[in-house]
Chains A and B, each alone.
Chain A
Amino acid sequence: MSDAAAIPADAHAHGHHPDLQHHFDSLEQQHEAATLGMWLFLVTEVLFFGGLFMAYLLYRVWYPEAWAAGSEELSIRLGGFNTVVLIGSSLTMAMAVRSAQTGYRRATVGWLLGTMALGLTFLVVKFFEYKDKFTHHHVPGYDFHIEGAHAGLAGPMEIFFSLYFTMTGLHALHMIIGFGIMSVITWMAYRGRFSTQWSTPVEMSGLYWHFVDIVWIFLFPLLYLVDRTGQ
């Protein structure tokens, strides 16, 4: 099947880039592999969240009133604020990637720190939103009461809040993981590990961060804006 060709397997062994791994022939091949791998990983993430979106869709069709009533219990102000914060963090992340590619070390570190600050802001706001659910007895399986006009919808509304906590909780978990990744990347950037030749980790983290943002872009209208016409 093959001819033993005269290309020595270790032709690149001398004088190659320190971040080129032994099993790749070139930085370009390594970069392409990482990019493809990251996109595939994001596809798995889409399907991972997809299961919950499927459940959401089914029950929203089944219980539109409970969905509207549940949605009204969420704070549109805090949710809206967080949406702006996250979109802003996508901008700072994009700037960080650009700075890394063009070799501006200090700018890279600065934009990454900005991204982390915005991410942290989001998580703090999310914490207060969750806390509010505990005080208002909206935590499914633990302390869940619906009184007043919507008392008859208590069952489906508990499903709504179960999905709310699972979906936003999973999203927040991704934010926390992203925060961890950013810390490492920022440290690497600070140490001057990236250059115009090689900034793959920053780009990959950027893809991940944008993905987590996009998940929120779907979560916000689906959970917070179901039926605001009554207000």
Chain B
Amino acid sequence: MEMTLAEPRVDYLNVRHTVASWLLTKDHKRIGIMYLVVVSLAFFVGGLFASIIRMELATPAGDLVSSDTYNKLFTMHGVAMVFFVLIPAVPAILGNFVLPLMLGAKDVAFPKINLLSWYVFVIGFLFTLYAMVTGGVDTGWTFYTPYSSRASSSNVMMTGIGVFITGFSSILTGLNFMVTIHRMRAPGLTWFRLPLFVWAIYSTSLVQVLGTPVIAITVLALAVERGLHFGIFDPALGGDPVLFQHLFWFYSHPAVYIMILPPMGAISEVLACFSRKNIFGYSFVAFSSLAIAIFGFLVWAHHLFIAGISVYSALVFSFLTYAVAIPSAVKTFNWTATLYKGAIWLKAPMIWAICFLGLFLVGGLTGLFTAALGVDVHIHDTYFVVAHFHFIMVGGAIMGYFAGLHYWWPKMTGRMYSDAAAKTAAVIVFVGFNLTFGPQFILGYLGMPRRYHMYPEEFQVLNVLSSAGASILAVGYVLVAIYLLVSLFKGEKAGDNPWHATGLEWTTQSPPLPHNFDVQPVVTEGAYEYSKREIKVV
């Protein structure tokens, strides 16, 4: 479909310009952009707390902030990053934008509910922000009872309400995506022709739908205990605080897979595109997403190995935790095999994706250390665990999110960013990240516990390295924000398919039409038929 340049093209961005046309939109693409704005804000807020934490930890003495303030800083860092960045980032931003395009659909199944879930998200975020600016919360993002229900005098209630409300946004998004994938696929788009990003989103939605209600009821039970002084977890009445931990992790461990599965899907897209190859082992990668989602529900008690659970159940949970490593490894091997003998094209999204592969590998393997019963006793609640989950959540999830964002940015905005700047940022983030969290493995193994704002002097060298790494990391993220913003105004026009990628989203114009496609697409082949395409490596 050649368009003459003189003819101004109608797209989802320029079709209407008023503020109301954004706030009342039912267009999945605009809703995706609106999520991008709020999540970026939350990322900035969470990053700010992290910066103060790393500044404090540059010296052994607690000289920058008080213990109480420090407790609040790491709590609010966790709450902001987990609930308002990692969980919504890829599904709500990229998923909203590209999922219906990938399916050849005009929109998600329930556009009004999609808009509603954005408002629910924003209201939850505002409650949480309000709790933060009016004194903060100091329980840790895990809200363990009885401290959270009885002792803490900080804004537990307000934060809990924020998290509770936000959960419904996640549930509604997951539900919407599942129905969309079942019912809105283009003619010919069978399950095994779906892009792997769709499989990843589907698996994620399954976790969102099955897991999130449990955290909702858990936070509600905490709220009635704290607000109405009911007794549900209260040991003074014979209640069981460990029950809270079980219920909390029944969601919050699968939530890790809400964070990592969608970026994994984005990585599959990027690696296939920039290797100019069909993905290796399509069905294995597809089913490994489902396997992770299902196994992910059976491992929660590995967070409770030293909470007094029985040795036998700990054994079973340890074993199951090892089992969940298998589908993750299946993915990693298949990605590597996709690169093998591919025509590797090192554009910016690919650089981010390769960084993901390395960091996710380290994060995943160190997860096995923490899954081992004996080793976990030694490293539980130390910086080893902090380093491990940051390798998964930042090295994995955020890197994968950036890979996807850089991949689809031309489609979303119609403009290119500076490839050189993006590659530089990826390298800076990679170096900064390793310097920040690499030393924390050693710190944890040597015995430095997490969540303390003071430490013995012998740990200072490693902590200074970590703080220095955090500064480099911050520079990298600021750079990303700068060149992406610049590209919005000054970036060259991207064209409909700058990466010569397969996938229905690349067959429509950039930015896409308000209703996505001029004609209903019909699919006749698999998602990654790069071998049938002319290779154009610029």
Footprint of B on A, CB under 8 Å? 1-9, 21-23, 29, 32-33, 36-37, 40-41, 43-52, 54-55, 58-59, 62-63, 140-142, 155-156, 158-159, 162-163, 165-166, 170
1/0 per residue, CB under 8 A from A, across B182-197: the answer is: 1110110000000000
A-B pair count, CB < 8 Å, reads 160
Partner of A158, one of B237, B515, B519, B525: B237
Given A7-B519, A43-B209, A44-B171, verify A1-B247 contact (CB < 8 Å): no
Given A63-B238, A156-B238, verify A4-B521 contact (CB < 8 Å): yes
| Alpha-carbon gap, A45 to B214, bound state (A) | 9
Given A2-B524, A47-B214, A62-B238, verify A36-B519 contact (CB < 8 Å): no
| Alpha-carbon gap, A23 to B230, bound state (A) | 47
Given A9-B106, A23-B105, verify A165-B523 contact (CB < 8 Å): no
Closest 9 interchain pairs by CB? A141-B229, A51-B217, A162-B230, A48-B213, A5-B522, A23-B106, A155-B237, A23-B107, A47-B213
Q: Does any Cβ of A come within 8 Å of B24's Cβ?
A: no
Q: Which residues of A contact B524 (CB under 8 A)?
A: 1-3
Partner of B230, one of A4, A32, A50, A165: A165
Q: Which residues of B contact A2 (CB under 8 A)?
A: 104, 186, 504, 507, 521-524
20 CB contacts below 8 A, A to B, read: A1-B504, A2-B504, A5-B187, A7-B187, A9-B515, A23-B108, A23-B109, A23-B111, A23-B515, A33-B183, A37-B176, A43-B210, A44-B212, A52-B217, A55-B247, A140-B231, A142-B228, A155-B236, A155-B238, A162-B230
Q: How far is the CB of B18 from chain A (nearest CB, A)?
A: 20
Q: Does any Cβ of A come within 8 Å of B216's Cβ?
A: yes
| Alpha-carbon gap, A159 to B237, bound state (A) | 7
| Alpha-carbon gap, A46 to B183, bound state (A) | 23
Whether the Cβ atoms of A142 and B229 lie closer than 8 Å is: yes
Given A48-B217, A55-B221, verify A159-B179 contact (CB < 8 Å): no
Q: Does any Cβ of A come within 8 Å of B496's Cβ?
A: no
Q: Which residues of B contact A4 (CB under 8 A)?
A: 1, 507, 519, 521
Q: Which residues of A contact B178 (CB under 8 A)?
A: 36, 40
Residue of A5, A22, A58 with most partner-chain B CB within 10 A: A5
Q: Which residue from chain A places its CB closest to the CB of B239 in the assembled complex? A: A159
Whether the Cβ atoms of A141 and B228 lie closer than 8 Å is: yes
| Alpha-carbon gap, A50 to B237, bound state (A) | 22
| Alpha-carbon gap, A141 to B212, bound state (A) | 28
| Alpha-carbon gap, A142 to B231, bound state (A) | 11
Q: Which residue from chain B places its CB closest to the CB of A51 in the assembled complex? A: B217
Q: Does any Cβ of A come within 8 Å of B527's Cβ?
A: yes
Q: Which residues of A contact B109 (CB under 8 A)?
A: 23, 33, 37
Q: Which residues of A contact B108 (CB under 8 A)?
A: 23
Q: Which residues of A contact B221 (CB under 8 A)?
A: 51-52, 55, 166
Q: Which residues of A contact B234 (CB under 8 A)?
A: 159
Q: Which residues of B contact A58 (CB under 8 A)?
A: 240, 243
Q: Which residues of A contact B110 (CB under 8 A)?
A: 33, 37
Whether the Cβ atoms of B179 and A50 lie closer than 8 Å is: no
Q: Which residues of B contact A7 (CB under 8 A)?
A: 187, 519-520, 522
Given A2-B522, A44-B171, verify A162-B183 contact (CB < 8 Å): no
Footprint of A on B, CB under 8 Å? 1, 104-111, 171, 175-176, 178-179, 182-184, 186-187, 209-214, 216-218, 220-221, 224-225, 228-232, 234, 236-240, 243, 246-247, 502-504, 507, 515, 517-527, 529
| Alpha-carbon gap, A37 to B504, bound state (A) | 25
Q: Which residue from chain B places its CB closest to the CB of A162 in the assembled complex? A: B230
Q: Which residues of B contact A44 (CB under 8 A)?
A: 171, 175, 209-210, 212-213
Given A41-B175, A58-B240, verify A9-B229 contact (CB < 8 Å): no
Whether the Cβ atoms of B224 and A162 lie closer than 8 Å is: yes
Q: Which residue from chain A places its CB closest to the CB of B515 in the assembled complex? A: A9
| Alpha-carbon gap, A142 to B230, bound state (A) | 8
Q: How far is the CB of A58 from chain B (nearest CB, A)?
A: 6
Whether the Cβ atoms of B175 and A40 lie closer than 8 Å is: yes
Q: How far is the CB of A53 from chain B (nearest CB, A)?
A: 10
Q: Which residues of A contact B209 (CB under 8 A)?
A: 40, 43-44
Q: Which residues of B contact A21 (CB under 8 A)?
A: 111
| Alpha-carbon gap, A17 to B234, bound state (A) | 56
| Alpha-carbon gap, A46 to B237, bound state (A) | 28
Q: Which residue from chain A places its CB closest to the CB of B180 in the assembled complex? A: A33
Residue of B104, B109, B515, B529 with most partner-chain A CB within 10 A: B109
Q: How far is the CB of A81 from chain B (nearest CB, A)?
A: 26
Q: Which residues of A contact B214 (CB under 8 A)?
A: 47-48, 50-51
Q: Which residues of B contact A50 (CB under 8 A)?
A: 213-214, 217
Q: Which residues of B contact A155 (CB under 8 A)?
A: 231, 236-238
Q: How far is the CB of A159 from chain B (nearest CB, A)?
A: 5
Whether the Cβ atoms of A5 and B520 lie closer than 8 Å is: yes
| Alpha-carbon gap, A170 to B217, bound state (A) | 10
